[in-house]
Chain A
Amino acid sequence: MADEALFLLLHNEMVTGVYKSADQGEVENGRCITKLENMGFRVGQGLIERFTKDTARFKDELDIMKFICKDFWTTVFKKQIDNLRTNHQGIYVLQDNKFRLLTQMSAGKQYLDHAPKYLAFTCGLIRGGLSNLGIKSIVTAEVSAMPACKFQVMIQKM
């Protein structure tokens, strides 16, 4: 689909652009990842406003996470999250076995160390979406074998 390719190519160029315009020191202390995450945060805030303008209020936190896994992920990446795990104490793990932004990169270990750069924007996306739904959180991502990856959401109790 044309719109999928557009977002994918734009996202890839964005990551390359942020890294190119950064100095050596910034690359080393993770400032670039933070920049990408903040971009995703702002985009996530806007997206969630659009997607939920007609839905009813959410019952609880778990309901919100399920919305993120199903409707939000489907609208952005055209598929659902494959696995949601929680410890019922504010930690959720979202597992996507075939993450759309990584499928073209490799199927296994090649390019593994570059993968976090391409996940930072999506972490921000989740964090921004949750923040506009009233949940403060920290989102991190880890990938052991592409294209599967896990997003870990830690809810901050205010």
Chain B
Amino acid sequence: MTVHNLYLFDRDGVCLHYSEWHRKKQAGIPKEEEYKLMYGMLFSIRSFVSKMSPVDMKDGFLAFQTSRYKLHYYETPTGVKVVMNTDLGVGPIRDVLHHIYSGLYVELVVKNPLCPLGQTVQSELFRSRLDAYVRSLPFFSARAG
């Protein structure tokens, strides 16, 4: 069980942060385009899910999975989107993504006067704490499995 990578987007689609831990295959396009592709896809899926839902929608889009990986999605009321790709053995991790937002992003970026909002996060502290947190998760194994 492992975490492949993590994206953080803000309300306007700016990619605030990206880290990867075990990514065996790259997308084959430049990073900027990859972020735009990811954001555009999420935007479309969200509106698709709400339109085509056969019952009243409660939470909306939560995750999708393929035969090799699972993409988890969490969106806050302010429009910050946390996207994490893990392998298939991982269940719902809404609380993990919520902690990444509230305990890490809000604490270390929003409250940091030297980090302007709406731009890629430069703070080393955020990067190292996020890395340490993800590595400490129960479903993260150091072996690329």
Interface, chain A (partner B; CB < 8 A): 5, 8-9, 12-13, 15-16, 104-108, 110-111, 114, 118
B44 within 8 A of A: no
A-B contacts at CB below 8 angstroms, number: 33
Interface, chain B (partner A; CB < 8 A): 107-108, 111-114, 123-125, 128
Which single residue of chain B is at the shortest CB-CB distance from A108? B124
Provide the bound-state CA to CA distance between A114 and B112, in Å: 12
> Within 8 Å CB of A111, what residues of B?
114, 123
- Distance in angstroms from A109 CB to nearest chain B CB is 8
> Within 8 Å CB of B123, what residues of A?
105-106, 110-111
User: Is the contact region of chain A dominated by helix, strand, or loop, or is it mixed?
Assistant: helix
The 5 A-B residue pairs with the shortest CB-CB distance in the complex, in nearest-first order: A12-B113, A104-B111, A110-B124, A106-B125, A104-B112
> Within 8 Å CB of B108, what residues of A?
104
- Distance in angstroms from A151 CB to nearest chain B CB is 20
Select A15's contact among B107, B111, B113, beta carbons within 8 Å: B113
- Distance in angstroms from B120 CB to nearest chain A CB is 15
> Within 8 Å CB of A105, what residues of B?
112-114, 123, 125
Provide the bound-state CA to CA distance between A105 and B111, in Å: 8
Would you call A118 and B125 a contact (CB within 8 A)?
no
- Distance in angstroms from A11 CB to nearest chain B CB is 8
> Within 8 Å CB of A118, what residues of B?
113
Provide the bound-state CA to CA distance between A16 and B108, in Å: 17
> Within 8 Å CB of B114, what residues of A?
105, 111, 114
A-B contact pairs, 18 of them (CB 8 A): A5-B111, A12-B111, A12-B113, A104-B107, A104-B108, A104-B111, A105-B112, A105-B113, A105-B125, A106-B123, A106-B124, A106-B125, A107-B125, A110-B123, A111-B114, A111-B123, A114-B114, A118-B113
Provide the bound-state CA to CA distance between A148 and B107, in Å: 18
Provide the bound-state CA to CA distance between A99 and B4, in Å: 35
> Within 8 Å CB of A12, what residues of B?
111, 113
> Within 8 Å CB of B124, what residues of A?
106-108, 110
Would you call A16 and B128 a contact (CB within 8 A)?
no
